[in-house]
Structure 1
Amino acid sequence: MGHSWALQRPHPVLRPFVARYLGYAQDDVTLAVHRGLPSRHVTLIVSLAEPIDCAGLPGAGRLQALVGGLHTSPALITQSRVQRGLHLELDPLGVRTLLGVSAAELSGSITDLAEFGADLARLPERLSEAPDWPSRFALLDEVLAARAVEPARPAPELDQAWRLLRHTGGLVRVGDLAGEIGWSRRHLGERFRTELGLAPKQAARVLRFERAGHLLRTGCHDLSAVALAAGYYDQAHLSHEWRALAGCSPRTWITEELPSLVEEPAG
């Protein structure tokens, strides 16, 4: 299967809101259904080929471009033989700035990108007309930077809580997290869910799962070692969580999905 990838960080003004841009081009795709896994990011995907045929979450359908909120079950994407497009990883606390809604309003669902404004509705066509990946990335910088003129960040305590959760890979206890930022556990839970759409415990669960996926992508296929490093009790706990969040066992995912995925960038 021929495939190519292009990775780039966004313009510095966008880095508080967007982790990276990923361009992908794949020919002769053989995996019929790709699992879009839960992660720390709100995802923005633009197809430069056929519309994205997705299922498994509310709002799914055939869309040329979509935004996927934080979720705790897989999005199921039916794949055609040829795949061309761009995948953006958005910080959930940055989507208010870029899309005008909270991550909670997107949580657990898929939304047509066109619903967020005429400039974003035109983006698939404009990206398709661009001649190469650098031109497409520059266009993304231009369109998104225009939306980041007046950032809408949440309370500093909430930003700190989300940063600490990410830094620990979801291993910090919610009570300790609340104490660290000076809020009660109940207040943290309410504010966190209102802004991100997941409770802190749910977010920690996703982060542990994401850590396990990172280890699998980078070549560690000893499931007992992966479980220990990602903060699970044992391999059985890892396998149970993987089936719940990915819809399949870790071994099945390694066999079916791993060969076609982009390698994790250094750093």
Structure 2
Amino acid sequence: MTHALAPFVVALSPYELGPSAHRGLPSSTITVTIPESDAVEIAWLERPQPPQRFSAAVAGLHLDAAELRQQGGTRGVWLTLSPLGAGALLGVPASELSGQIADLADVSPAMAHLPEQLAACRSWPQRRTLVENALLTGWARHQRHADGRDLAALKALSSTARVEEAAGLLGCSRRHLSSTVRAALGVTPKEYQRLLRFETARGALATAARTETISLATIAAQSGFADQAHFTREWRAMAGCTPTEWLRTEGLAA
């Protein structure tokens, strides 16, 4: 990864969706799905809204799940950005994307042609270079939006279990921290920490499934939940299913 992009790009990888729907779970990152050909169709699981089609989709921070389908060609590029990467690379702060999904062409018109350009590439290295160059162009145009003060707030929230502790690390009031995080991300500090806990648990659950040593109580404790019941309630609320149901749909269940 190019040095300029490293603080903002969490992951850049190819994907191939199967014939069934993929469940998009909440996370602490901005997700960009760029199909190589056919549009991607996305529907929120718990919202009374019809599915929407996107030539390429940008999902802001959200605390509920969605389903993704891509008919015909099923390949593409999966890009995840840190919350501050939305402003620094796409030119739109994460707060404007919070709780919604938008077309990449509307968020960053300069990247509107990425899907058709990806389809013309013959290898993954070519596709990766194409996307990285587009992001570098965005960085050159939008880097003034990168704010170190916001980064300090997110680091404090990531390293503590409670909002009050994060405010203490920063030497500010909880109210000041809340206004800073809301302005930057569009979610509250408590909601951001919920996303971090969920993300940690998701990784631990997938790892445990691969090693066939699943203990929901252990995962709950290691991920910062009060107990297994708390973990299960949060998972159902944010994923729209139980942990074991998610493992089964992802093909990770024993």
1:137 maps to a residue whose letter is R
Task: Evaluate the alpha carbon distance shift between residue 154 and residue 139 of structure 1 in structure 2; reply closer, same or farther with a 3 A threshold.
Answer: closer
> Are residues 1:129 and 2:117 paired?
no
Alpha-carbon separation, structure 2, partners of 1:51 and 1:121: 13
Tell me the residue number matched to 2:175. Answer: 186
- Aligned residue for 1:152, secondary structure, equals helix
Aligned to 2:89: 98
Gaps of 5+ in 1: 1-9, 261-267
TM-fit CA distance, 1:82: 5.5
Partner of 2:30: 42
Tell me, yes or no, if the aligned pair for 1:59 and 1:111 is still in contact at 8 Å: no
The TM-score with structure 2 as length reference comes to: 0.89
Contact 2:157 2:163 in 1 (8 A): no
Is 1:257 matched up with 2:250? Answer: yes
SS of 1:86's partner is strand
Is 2:154 aligned against 1:162? yes
Task: Give the share of equivalent positions with the same residue, in percent.
Answer: 38
What secondary structure, in the 3-state scheme, does the structure 1 residue paired with 2:79 have? strand
Q: Deviations over 1:172-230 (max 9, x none)?
A: 32112112112211011011011101100000011101110000111252111111111
Residue 21 (structure 1) aligns with: 12
- In 2, Cα distance between equivalents of 1:59 and 1:71: 17
Q: Shift in Å at residue 139 of structure 1?
A: 0.7
Separation of aligned partners in 2, 1:179 and 1:13: 31
What is the root-mean-square deviation in Å for CA atoms of aligned residues?
A: 2.0
Alpha-carbon distance in 2 for matches of 1:204, 1:198: 10
CA distance in 2 between counterparts of 1:181 and 1:154 reads 19
Residue 155 of structure 1: how far off its partner (Å): 4.4
Alignment-derived partner of residue 229 in structure 1: 222
**Separation (CA, whole Å) in 1 of partners of 2:198 and 2:26:** 8
Contact 2:55 2:115 in 1 (8 A): yes
Alpha-carbon separation, structure 2, partners of 1:155 and 1:88 = 21
Q: In 1, are the aligned partners of 2:88 and 2:144 still within 8 Å (CA)?
A: yes
Correspondence for 1:202 among 191, 197, 201: 191
TM-score (norm 1): 0.85
Q: Tell me how many residue pairs correspond in the alignment.
A: 245
SS in 1 for 2:67: strand
Q: Is the 8 A contact 2:22 2:67 kept in 1?
A: yes
Give the superposition deviation at 1:76. 1.7
**The 10-residue stretch of structure 1 (234-243 or 56-65) with the greater mean CA deviation from structure 2:** 56-65
Deviations 1:25-81 (A, max 9, x none): 35xx35x33210011110011011421110116796111201000000001223547
Residue in 1 that maps onto 2:200? 211
Contact 1:39 1:70 (8 Å CA) reproduced: yes
Which runs of 4 or more aligned residues in structure 1 lie more than 4 Å from their structure 2 counterparts after TM superposition? 57-60, 79-82
**Secondary structure of the equivalent of 1:217?**
helix
- Partner of 1:13, secondary structure, is coil
The answer as to whether partners of 1:44 and 1:88 remain within 8 angstroms in 2 is: yes
